[in-house]
Every structure is written in structure tokens, then in C-alpha cells.
Amino acid sequence: MPPAASDETSTNPRFLAAGDTAVVVEFGVVVDHAINRRVTSLGRALRGAGLAGIVDLVPTFRSLMVHFDPTVVRRAEIEETVNALLPELSDEADGGRLWRVPTVYGGDYGPDLEDVARRTGLTPEKVVEIHSGGTYECYMMGFMPGLGYLGILPDELALPRRTEPRVRVPGGSVSIATNLTNIYTKESPGGWHLLGRTPIELFDLRRAEPILLNAGDSVQFYEIDEPTYREMRARADEGDPVIAPEEISGSGEGA
């Protein structure tokens, strides 16, 4: 499914109560680059506004949940602050980081590569070329610590989830489903199609910053061979993050 067009709520958000200690700022009802960029832009702006009483900010594909301490700040104050910040928000990809993620594709590391090729009418090599040729924006975090939902996949690789989910998916598995791609950060059940595996640890409590990827960042995958995977994996086992981000700014659509 390709990105949907922005709707009228993308510039005039709705405020939705989420109990008495949170409010949801909803910018739209679809998975869309511009809507998500406004979500992440609002998150950055709220952090910079210095409004007392904000406990946490949780971005999703199309909204930002603002957790607050009602003994310090009223919901009305938060809504006033958000409305004041709206003219400053950007629909452009700005302020995030770019992560280049090494990936070994196919074989035991990507057991669904051949099936994905068959179902899409492509060769396995072409699937790898298309998948590793895109730049994917991290729309939101979820499902497990450090896992980011990345999109948008090119139409050629858009497939529904597997009809029979696996009981165990290895950590580091690079996968696709619908029009998204992601990286399983730890071993878990899962129903996405496994194209490959990365040696890096996106979530590691031994590091000062346990989570590498954040909403608003971008990811590019690049192919490595098995010996390189093993060498990088050995470093990751010692707590080395292996990769470092590049700061990005400006506009541009993800693949």
C-alpha cells in the first residue's frame, strides 16, 4: 500500500483525552510522511518549549501522546502551547539521524527471501537491490524495546503478513510486511517476512544509550557477507554499537 495523501487534520490536529494524565494530539488518520513529520516536529518543539509538568512524549504514525503531571500543568495549558507551536512545525525531514544498517540477506539469515521473490515476481537479487536501495523513515517505536516501524517500502515489495507467524524470530532479523520494514531487536514471535539479519544490537542495556533508533530517524540497509556479519556480531557481543549515526537535515521522501 503506497503512502496515503494527507487529510485535513494534518494541519489542524484534534486533541483527544487519554485519561486524566495524558492528551493525544492527532494530526491525521493515515500513514503519511507529512503527517508523521509534523508529529516528530511537535515532539521536538514541545521538548524545547520547557513547559513544566510534561512527563513523557510518545509519537505514533499519526499522533503524539503527551503524558503530563496534572498537579503541575493543566491539559488546557498543553493545548494552548501546542496551538502556539503549530506555525513552527515542519512537514520536512529535519533534525533526525541517518543509520546505515549492515545486513546479510537470504539463506539461514533471511529464510523468506526466496518466497518474497516468488510472490513479487522478482529475483532474490532484485528484492535485495530494492530493499537496500531505499531510505526509510522511522515513524514510531513499538512492539518491543528499540524496534522502529520504518517506511515506506516500494510498491514492488508490499506484501501482507505471513499467514502462519513464527514462534521464534531471531533478534536482528530484517523483515517486511504491508508497506513497512523493521528490525526485530530481540528474539520474539512474529509474522513478518524475513529477508536478512543485521549483526548490530538496536537495544542493549549495557550502553549509556540503550536504544539506537528513535522516531524521526532514517535507515538505509546495505548488504554484507557472512564473514563480515560474524566479525561485526562479535563486536556487538562485547557491547560495541558497531555503527554510528549521521546527522541529517532538509527535505526528501523516504523510499
Domain ranges across the chain: 8-88, 97-247
* Residue 178 β-bridge partners: 159
Residues of the chain under the 50 pLDDT cut: 1-10, 251-255
How many angstroms separate the first and last alpha carbons of the chain?
13
Q: Do the beta carbons of residue 9 and residue 32 sit within 8 Å? A: no
Q: State the Cα–Cα distance between residues 133 and 125, nearest whole angstrom.
A: 12
CA distance 214 to 220: 14
Backbone angles phi, psi at 81, to 5 degrees: -65, -45
Taking CB atoms within 8 Å and a gap of at least 24, the contacts of 170-173 are: 170/197, 171/201, 172/197, 172/198, 172/199, 172/200, 172/201, 173/109, 173/110, 173/197
The strand ranges marked E within 18-141 are 22-26, 54-59, 63-68, 97-105, 136-141
Give the separation between CA 154 and CA 139, rounded to whole angstroms.
Answer: 16
- What's the confidence (pLDDT) of residue 166? 97
Q: Which amino acid is at 46?
A: L
Peptide bond into 130 cis (omega under 30): no
Question: Closest Cα to residue 248, out of 37, 58, 30, 26?
Answer: 37
Domain 8-88 and domain 97-247 have a common topology: no
In CATH, which superfamily holds the domain spanning 97-247? Cyclophilin-like (2.40.100.10)
Q: CA dihedral defined by 25, 30, 33, 38, rounded to 10 degrees?
A: -10
- Residue 2 is predicted with a pLDDT of 37
In the numeric block, the cell 562485547 is attached to 238
Model pLDDT, residue 94: 65
Burial of 98 (0-12, 13-18, 19+ CB in 10 A): middle
Q: Which pLDDT belongs to residue 226?
A: 98
State the pLDDT at residue 9. Answer: 44
Ordered alpha helix ranges (H), 87-240:
113-120, 124-132, 226-237
For the segment 157-183, what is each residue's pLDDT rounded down to a tens digit? 999 999 999 999 999 999 999 999 999
CATH top-level class for 8-88?
alpha beta
Find the length of the chain: 255
Helices 75-85 + 33-49 axis angle, to 10: 120
